[in-house]
Structure 1
């Protein structure tokens, strides 16, 4: 009960303009929180932003000759493995026929 009394006394000691200002500040904070939660829950928007970031990164990498060379060097072993797997799959298919 003492907290209700002290809260009531606090409210009485403040003028209406202070109370209005505090209410508006609380509304602003709540609005920001709701907006932040909405952004976090908007999966479609997040995925679109991520795709745009990755596209830009790929374009930047491709336009930089040194980065392009490094990317191609990194991709070469993967392409080799894929080629071998495709060859094995083709041979296996022919063996079954």
Structure 2
């Protein structure tokens, strides 16, 4: 399973975050569990919340290097974003001019 798909076509580098939606779908229940653990403290809820945070962060970790690269590229030049962070059929897709080409 490739978490990040990279390719170059028509003078553009394209990065597709195919499974990033998993993180975004897990984020909301994890935050809800965190609030529940804070409002109604219980060892069971706290344990479930801790496990949810581990799973949520584990799904995000493969994307951290590309997110840092995207932020760096945004500081240096423009990039184009398309897609939806909640969609598996229309995933987040980023495009920018390939090295050695002009926009």
TM-score after normalising by structure 1: 0.31
* Higher percent of residues as helix: 1
- Higher RCO (C-alpha under 8 Å, 6+ residues apart): 2
Q: Between Structure 1 and Structure 2, which shows a larger proportion of strand residues? A: 2
TM-score by length of 2: 0.29
Q: State which structure, 1 or 2, has the greater radius of gyration over its C-alpha atoms.
A: 1
